[in-house]
A and B are shown apart, each in its own frame.
Chain A
Amino acid sequence: MDGKMSNFKTLKITVYQTIILVLIAVISGVGFNQFSPNGLKLITPFRRLSIGEQHLKIPIFLSRKLFKPQSLDSMPHQPRELQLNETYAHFQNRSALFIDARTSAEYKAGHIPQAVSLPLESFDYQTPPLVDFPVNQMIITYCEGVSCSESIDLAVHLNEIGFNNVFIYIGGWEEWQPAGYPVKEGDQP
Chain B
Amino acid sequence: MNKAKIFSAIAIVIRLCLGFLFLYSALDKILYPARFAEVIYNYRLLPVELLNICAIIVPWIEITIGVTLLLGVWVTSSALLLSGLTVVFIGLLLSAIGRGLNIECGCFSLDSEGSLVSWKRIFEDVLILIGGIYLIWHQIKKPARLES
Contacts and interface: CB of A to CB of B under 8 A. Distances in A.
A28 B63 CA distance: 10
A59 B32 contact: no
B115 to A, nearest CB: 11
Interface residues of B, number: 40
B41 A59 contact: yes
Nearest to B47: A57
**A: interface residue count bin:** 35 or more
B91 to A, nearest CB: 18
B118 interface: no
Contacts of B78: 21
B134 to A, nearest CB: 16
B95 to A, nearest CB: 15
Nearest to A62: B34
Given A30-B56, A32-B60, A39-B33, A17 B74 contact: yes
A53 B57 CA distance: 34
A131 interface: no
Nearest to A43: B49
A25 B61 CA distance: 5
Given A17-B147, A41-B52, 13 more contacts: A10-B146, A13-B146, A21-B65, A25-B61, A25-B64, A28-B60, A29-B56, A32-B30, A43-B53, A44-B50, A44-B53, A57-B48, A59-B38
Interface in B24-60: 30-35, 37-38, 41, 44, 48-53, 55-57, 59-60
Contacts of B49: 43-44, 46
A9 to B, nearest CB: 7
A121 B112 contact: yes
* A24, A28, A44, A62, most chain B CB atoms within 10 A: A44
Interface string A55-76: 0011101110000000000000
Contacts of A42: 52-53, 56
